[in-house]
Structure 1
Amino acid sequence: MKKLIIGTRGSDLALWQANHIMSELAGIGLEAEIKIIKTQGDKILNLRLDKLEGKGFFTKELEDELMAGSIDIAVHSLKDLPTVNPPGLTIAAIPQREEATEYLLILKDCVDVSQKLSLKKGAMVGTSSNRRKSQLLGLRPDLEIEDLRGNVPTRIGKLRNEDYDAILLAKAGVKRLGLDLSDLHVEELQTTELISAPAQGALGIQIRESDTELYQALQPLNNPRTAEEVGVERKVLNLFEGGCHMPLGCYCKKEADGFEVWTAMADTAEDFPNRLFLRANDSAGLAEKIVSAFNKEKKRPSKVFISREIGEYSYFRRALTQNGIEIEGRSLIRTFPIVNILDPFYLKNIDWIFFSSRNGVEYFFKLNPQLSKRIKFGVVGHGSEDALRKFGHFADFVGESGDIAEVAADFAALVAGETVLFPRAADSLQTIQKSLSAETKVIDLPIYETVIEENIDGSSADVLIFTSPSNVDAYFADNLLEPGQQVIAIGNSTGRKFDEMGVAYTLPYAPDEIGLAEAVFGMEIR
């Protein structure tokens, strides 16, 4: 085969991508050279992308040269590529993608650990992505969002010049360029917290449809798993008829038993995003199912009961209120401390402290513990992480799944052979502790107890959310489910109570306010 010509944009990241593909081609015996092509998105830097006409601001000129025959391959960031190929062109290969998470880069004097995302109140964040803006404001409505254009090094330079307090970038670009960020605070936002753009972190190798020999030669570079995952994400984008300016995030992950997909969408960048989490056995029809679930005409719950108090400005309240859903929040239990003074023995030679609830965090720090700087913290989920932040500490491990067995397995692998302190409720099931290896030392510290309220009034809500096994016991001591009521259990231990009762329930992906809101939004009242 003749020497191939690879077309690419001229940014540092685009050149890294093109050189990476050229190296991969060499590995399968194909020689290539690079041709730099300037696109509309490179030329116009004073306008937001959603103010430009048409689509494919970073890809059209490459496609034109590909169709004209002046290049043989176009290497794209797949998230920039329109979901429909021009006639005569095709995506020949999608290599394994880099992580799709986001980096929030923060000037160190603008860090406030006690706040969600570690950003000080009212911080100015730079991004021109409507998707990022909508989701950021959903998590932190106090932030000020300002436009930010330019390639990755340029954006980081503007942050260092203090034009912004923080900026958002895709981790993939920063990692590929190997940039030194040691002078900045780096907060990695997982795809379950801030949902990435469709195909974020993936590359697309585009060729002419008529080059069938080249198509076959490129197949060793194609990663079927990545292709299937981003295929779902890009189909969702296509069905919504959106471009890069649409406030849409979609991330698909293929697991051994099927697919997990997170989607966030808003009407405008200023609107609170609706979110949805779906599991499916295969990818056939999955994108259509996601888009259908966002149909505003479907019958959603009119009222939701949750067995905890819900703050006026909490994410869960704002998510449900914008969809016209009434919230009835009341705790059915009371908690009391059973330790008032912390024996220094418990803190000697500790490597980790693990919290399985927000109550555990709050009761532990009320004891004013004197902690070594080397101690690391683990938490069961983002709710406990937010509670830990209020006391000025980061979590070194955060459970990302609502399946406590998965969280336990991940934590056990991390702390094997170390010493872990567990401040907990007296009636805790101790699932994490029981999953640790024999060489891991467990120090048990019951610090509060739970008391069930009596004579609990039932709720007529369409959906009942239970946030602990104790709340289930309290509610059903005096009440039964009404016809048509649906149940959400915050985690496996709560769900086991319903298994014992023979009651069907929904389990959210994550045991936090985002996960609960996603679960409610995914329900349809029958």
Structure 2
Amino acid sequence: MSDTPHFRIGTRGSDLAMWQAHHVRDLIEQRGGTCEIHVLSTQGDREQVHAFDKLEGKGFFTKEIELALLANDIDLAVHSHKDLETQQPEGLCIAAVPARASAEDVLLVHPKAHRSATWLPLKKGSAVGTSSARRRDQLLLLRPDLNIQALRGNVPTRIQRLKEGRYDAIVLAAAGIERLNLDLDDLRVHKLDPRKFVPAPAQGALALQMRASDPRKPWLTQLESPETAQTIENERAILRELEGGCQLPFGAHHSGPSHPLRCFLQASTGPRRILASGSIEALQKLKEVNPRRLLITRLAKPHDTLHRLAKGSGDSLIEWPAAIPVPLKKPAIPNTAMDWVWLGSPGAVRACSDWLHENPNVKVATPGPGTSEALQPEDRSRLEFCGNGDPVGAWQSFIDGCSPEESVAIPHSQQSLKRWETCAASASLHPWVHYTTEPNTELAPACDTVCFTSPTNVRLWNSPQPPNIVAIGATTSAELKARNWDHTVAVHPDAFGIWEAFQNS
């Protein structure tokens, strides 16, 4: 083999595929090799109408390129790794996996459809474009009201269709947008956290494919990122065992050896979300059915995301509050016109429902989706701020966005932590005690695990110590520690943080 190997690189002709081919060419030439680029057409390029799950076969973006490799028409194929089948065709191999770009998905929103809302910043019933079954099912897990529509074409074409108003929003891979450095100034960009919206296995990574017998294969290993190769192998190993391709509604994300492996699979029972230490444990959890009775100390929210997660795994979610919010008969409500109302918990939403209806022009702000999902359907259009679920950070973000001329109503309970007193505010704040909490006189139902949602729910718990316990956050954990009750603390107080804590308890 020559000290300066030459490679005929095969690629699709889309803007993104050409960027990837030129990127690999640059990596090779930086190390002393030489290249020429050959553009090939694939079934995925020619079929621009139907969604992938409506097409027959596999390898829509790779088959023709792999045939060219086997025919010795090219020496090296550059693929988006997520497009490859998990089993290599006989005679071919992956010679190198360069460092991964961003793995997450991005929601691009047309300004006319952008709204503060639960989970996703979209108006009710928005038309969202994607032809990925995985993206479709996760969008509907978060927002069942969305209208999912097929979207094909290369990345610039998809974005142009959004700008033209054919869709309210579209979902794309962050890596493709970043690599093409596209102008998104007239769109709203919302990155989808892999903790809540699991990417495709190997999304953001490239695969350099060549003939297994090619003597230049060892030379290409210098382009390999061992960490990237290992993490995407963990992701794709599950897909391989599930015998799925890009049409399977499956996501997997592993950001490194010190982080958990997250998976999503749309099963016949609904969405399955699991957390595992590696691919072997992930497969076991995805395949096993072990129904549990999970109790959360809250009032009923029968159609929320946590219910959908429980149903997808065959579990029963029981809602039973140890502390029941009860409005005061004569709360000392300030006689002031309000612009906003801060509802700090689902309990506040329920206790203040009459006040909300008596003040229909007041805008609603909540710390996160868990509280927003407790709003009555007729009140959700008033939601103008929905935080990320962190009560301290959400309050700070909300109040920083208020002007000095605005007034904020803060109806709260007698047991409130009064987080609004912890930071300066330019707006005029009007807190008052609107409700108290009373103990539930009924005994808690039998269950396998209990998630305590507040210190008050721990203090008012009227049953024996549960077999397994989850604390929604640090203050609730402190109350459980005072009782010497072992427990798992949710890393985040939203539905996904609670769900993962249920799994770890």
State the TM-score bracket (shorter-chain normalisation).
0.7 to 0.9
Displacement of 1:130? 0.8
Native 8 Å contact 2:129 2:148 kept in 1:
yes
Q: 1:36-75 residue pairs with structure 2 within 5 A?
A: 36-75=39-78
Alpha-carbon distance in 2 for matches of 1:49, 1:317: 29
Within 5 Å, give how 1:28-177 maps onto structure 2. 28-177=31-180
8 A Cα contact 1:113 1:390, kept in partner:
no
| Fraction of identical pairs, as percent | 35
- Is 1:506 the counterpart of 2:488? The answer is yes
Bigger Cα displacement from structure 2, 179-188 vs 444-453: 444-453
Do the aligned residues in 1 keep the contact of 2:334 with 2:430 (CA within 8 Å)? no
The 1:3/1:112 distance shift into structure 2, 3 A limit, reads: same
Task: Give the Cα–Cα distance (whole angstroms) in 1 for the partners of residues 252 and 421 of structure 2.
Answer: 35
Which ranges in structure 1 are unaligned for 5 or more consecutive residues?
281-285, 348-352, 372-376, 416-420
Query: What SS is found at the alignment partner of 1:58?
Result: coil
SS at match of 2:48: coil
C-alpha spacing 1:263/1:324, structure 2 compared with 1 (3 Å):
closer
Secondary structure of the 1:100 match is coil
Q: Which amino acid aligns with 1:265?
A: L
Shift of the alpha carbon at 1:193? 1.8
In the alignment, is residue 305 of structure 1 matched against residue 287 of structure 2? no
Cα distance, 1:203 vs structure 2: 1.1
With over 3 angstroms needed to count, the CA separation of the structure-2 counterparts of 1:385 and 1:141, relative to structure 1, is closer
Distance change >3 Å, CA 32–CA 358, structure 1 → 2? farther
1:117-155: per-residue Cα shift (whole Å, max 9, x none)?
Answer: 122222222211111111111111122222111111122
Contact 1:239/1:288 (CA < 8 Å) preserved in 2?
no
Q: Give the Cα–Cα distance (whole angstroms) in 1 for the partners of residues 243 and 117 of structure 2.
A: 39
2:275 counterpart residue number: 277
Q: Aligned in 2, Cα 1:304/1:27: closer, same or farther, shift over 3 Å?
A: same
Give the conservation status (yes or no) of the 8 Å contact 2:58–2:245.
yes
Residue aligned with 1:294, SS: helix
Structure 1 distance, partners of 2:371, 2:324, is: 18
What is the aligned partner in structure 1 of residue 28 from structure 2? Answer: 25
CA 1:208–1:321: 2 relative to 1, 3 Å: closer
* Structure 1 residue corresponding to 2:370, chosen from 370, 383, 394: 383
- The separation in 2 between residues aligned to 1:494 and 1:185, in whole angstroms, is 36
Report the Cα distance in structure 2 between the residues aligned to 1:214 and 1:355, rounded to whole angstroms: 61
Find the aligned partners of 1:386 and 1:201 in 2 and give their Cα distance.
32
Equivalence map 1:285-364=2 (5 Å): 286-296=278-288, 298-301=289-292, 303-321=293-311, 323-334=313-324, 340-341=333-334
Give CA-to-partner distance per residue, 1:239-278, whole Å, 9 cap, x none. Answer: 11111000111111226xx23122111137xx73111123
Q: 1:305, 1:183 → 2: CA distance?
A: 45
Cα distance in 1 for residues equivalent to 2:432 and 2:237: 50
Residue 137 of structure 2: SS of its match in structure 1? helix
RMSD of equivalent CA atoms: 4.1
Structure-1 separation of matches of 2:366 and 2:96: 40
The match for 2:243 is: 241
2:25 and 2:371 mapped to 1: Cα distance?
A: 46
Report the secondary structure of 1:112's partner residue. coil
Correspondence 1:486 to 2:472: no
- Between 244-253 and 148-157, report the one with greater CA deviation: 148-157
Cα shift at 1:74:
1.2
Confirm or deny: 8 A CA contact 2:202 2:235 kept in the other structure: yes
The aligned residue for residue 229 of structure 1 is: 231
Distance 1:466 1:66, change over 3 A: same
1-side partners of 2:432 and 2:23: how far apart? 54
Give the counterpart letter for 1:490 in structure 2.
I
Residue 404 of structure 2: aligned partner? none
Contact (CA 8 Å) 2:10, 2:38: kept in 1 or not? yes
Shift of 1:208: 2.6
**Could you tell me which residue of structure 1 aligns to residue 445 of structure 2?**
459
Q: Do 2:413 and 2:437's aligned partners in 1 also have CA atoms closer than 8 Å?
A: no
1:388-439 CA distances to partner (integer Å, 9 max, x unpaired)?
98654456x7368xxx9xx98xx99xx9xxxxx9x887767799999x9xx9
Q: Distance in 1 between matches of 2:163 and 2:235?
A: 34
Aligned equivalents of 1:489 and 1:228: distance in 2? 33
Matches of 1:174 and 1:158, distance apart in 2: 15
Partner of 1:252: 254
Q: Secondary structure at the match of 2:267?
A: coil
Residues 68 and 181 of structure 1, relative CA distance in 2, 3 Å threshold: same
TM-score by length of 1: 0.77
Q: Letter of the aligned partner of 1:459 in structure 2?
A: P
CA change 1:186–1:359 in 2 (3 A) is: farther
CA contact (8 A) 1:452 1:471 kept: no
Partner residue, 2:497: 515
Under a length normalisation based on structure 2, what TM-score does the superposition of the two structures give? 0.80
Kept after mapping to 1: 8 A contact 2:77/2:208 = yes
Alignment match, 2:261: 261
Q: 1:350 maps to which residue?
A: none
Amino acid across the alignment from 1:131:
R
Cα distance in 1, alignment partners of residues 211 and 312 from structure 2: 46
The change in CA–CA distance for 1:523 and 1:59 in structure 2 (over 3 A counts) is same
- 259 and 251 in structure 1: CA distance in 2 versus 1, 3 angstrom threshold: same
- From the superposition, tell whether residues 14 and 260 of structure 1 become closer, same or farther in structure 2 (CA, over 3 Å): same
Compute the displacement of 1:340 (Å).
4.4
